[in-house]
Amino acid sequence: MPELFNPIDYAVPAFIILIVSEMLWVRRRAPEKYDPRDTLTSLALGTGSTVAGALSGALVFSLAMWIYEQRFFDIGWVWWAWPLCFVLDDLAYYWAHRSGHRVRWFWASHVNHHSSQHYNLSTALRQTWTGFIALGFIFRIPVAFLGFHPAMLLFVGAFNLIYQFWIHTEAIYKFPRWVEYIMNTPSHHRVHHATNPRYLDQNYAGTFIIWDRIFGTFTEEVEGEKIRYGIVKQLGTFNLLWSVFHEWIGIAQDVKSAPWRHKFSYIWRAPGWSHDGSRDTSDSIRAQWLQSRQAKAD
């Protein structure tokens, strides 16, 4: 097994330089694109996520190694395994991410990344502390079952994460059409972070936007429509611990108060689902929006 370095260690200085550069860029154009308190919350979430990852990483890696022992193919460390592993891991990421939005248990962890009402490079580092509890990794380690070594998976996964950093910006509008067709770009990812009804729960891609095109979750950014970022029910606070745990607390409260036959639904159904229909999911919000748009057109 080759000795692999952690690509993120080398990327962090670049992250800092790029965030500072973006701050200088917005200073003249739109200083409201950054809020110091929001940035501090995002970066604290990022640091906490690194610590949480370090604490749970060994366990996840051991599980991946166990799966690797039962592998289908002996792929080894041949050169073509690296790009193939990257693509397959990106596909696995797509499904993990999609589930992270469509199943409340997974959303409770992933919501941390979306709870900022800003969209800038610091938002990219706003990562979860509770990914291990949410078990989101179960989507990505099956690639090891095919015969890709967990160390290779970890390595390409780190590059995927690095790729996703720079797309969290409003400084870039769009790339040439062929790039926008294949790659996840700032434009596509702005759509993903938007709470505008037309954009809710779209563009789950990590690196390649083609997964969204294939699986029917792609939406193009519409020129001239102001994007609102964040979550449907904005937190309204910069409280770090509330930002981390609010959805977990919400699940616990709902499960406690729900009738027995609905308790489990508050865990596995879509965020916003309620047994009495008193709340809105992204689907119901989009349906209402389409209805009101149709009514206006008529």
Partner 1 sequence: MTAELLKLAGSIAAILFIALFARFLRLGGDVRIRSEEQAREIANETCCGFDPVEIAIDKAGIAALLRDADGRHLLVRRHGVQWAGRLLDRHNDSRLDQNFLTVGTGEKTFGSVTLNLGSQASHWAAGLRHLKI
Interface contacts to partner 1, rule CB under 8 A: 9, 12, 16, 19-20, 23-24, 26-27, 31-40, 43-44, 46-47, 50-51, 54, 117-118, 122, 195, 197, 228, 230, 232, 234-239, 242, 246, 280, 285, 288-289, 292
Q: Least separation, in Å, of the C-beta of 19 and partner 1?
A: 6
- Alpha helix positions (H), the chain: 7-29, 36-69, 81-102, 104-114, 121-124, 131-134, 142-146, 150-166, 177-182, 186-193, 210-215, 240-257, 265-268, 282-297
How far lies 215's CA from each of 72, 98, 122, in Å? 26, 11, 29
> Which one-letter DSSP state was computed for residue 163?
H
Q: Least separation, in Å, of the C-beta of 16 and partner 1?
A: 5
Of 189, 266, 175, nearest to 221 by C-alpha is 189
The answer to whether residues 209 and 182 touch, using CB atoms and an 8 Å cutoff, is yes
CA angle 69, 72, 78 (to 5 degrees): 85
Q: Least separation, in Å, of the C-beta of 98 and partner 1?
A: 22
3-state secondary structure at position 149: coil
The smaller minimum CB distance to partner 1, of residues 115 and 184, is found at: 115
Q: How many angstroms separate the CA atoms of 286 and 280, rounded?
A: 10
> Which one-letter DSSP state was computed for residue 23?
H
How far lies 153's CA from each of 15, 72, 105, 143, in Å? 22, 16, 24, 8
